Amino acid sequence: MSTRSKPNSPIRETDEGACAVAQQIMNDARTAALGVIAPDSGWPQVTRIATVFVSGTGLCTLISDLSTHAAALRANPKCSLLIGDLPERGDPLNHPRLTLQATAQGVDKGALRARWLSARPKTKLYFDFADFRILRFDIISGFLNGGFGKAFDLTPKDLLHPPE
């Protein structure tokens, strides 16, 4: 993931269209593949998490303290997220998806309760369990793979929603 477009680089220069696609993927994301570093072994570990994009806060997850990925994030908050639905047909590698580099930070669960449960009502079954907390992902960088020949490096600013 180089910075911006360079001669002979497969990375295109970021434009408004790329930012809009990436913002839409983030806004629509119901789950993500979360990559963390396992604290015992140093290996990467990828698991599925639930996500909600909360305007004014950012991309969030509801996570149990008892999970291995939560333990990994406590030891090392550096993580990566892959988001973007698979297409119903066609080559899935020619369909847009977004890789984020981020750090995970705890946020006030009570303050986001209504927003989270409005977006994910089925999680009401366990939202209030004491071991569940909400983490916010602070984005360091993004990489949009919009399909063949459509790759873009993105900054946190590129991923901010435009003023409504």
Token pair for residue 101? 């580099």
Q: Using CB under 8 A, which of 5, 24, 38, 127 touches a copy of itself?
A: 38
Q: Which stretch binds a copy of itself (CB under 8 A): 12-20, 109-117, 122-130, 156-164?
A: 122-130
C-alpha–C-alpha distance, residues 81 and 120, integer Å: 19
**C-alpha distances out from residue 129 to 29, 66, 84, Å:** 23, 11, 29
The site that binds a copy of itself (CB under 8 A) totals a number of residues, namely 44
Using rule CB under 8 A, residue 78 touches a copy of itself: yes
Contact (CB, 8 A) for 2 and 12: no
The reply on whether position 4 binds a copy of itself by CB under 8 A is no
Whether the CB-CB separation of 64 and 70 falls below 8 Å is answered with yes
Note whether 33 and 47 are within 8 A (CB): yes
Spatial distance between the Cα atoms of 148 and 40, rounded to a whole number of angstroms = 37
| Residue 117 lies near a copy of itself (rule: CB under 8 A) | no
Closest approach of a copy of itself to the CB of residue 112, in Å: 18
Considering only residues 46 through 75, tell me which ones interact with a copy of itself, judged by CB under 8 A. Answer: 46-50, 66, 68
Residue ranges that bind a copy of itself, judged by CB under 8 A: 1, 10, 30-31, 33-38, 41-50, 66, 68, 78-82, 84-86, 90-93, 97, 99, 101, 120, 122-123, 126, 143, 145, 148
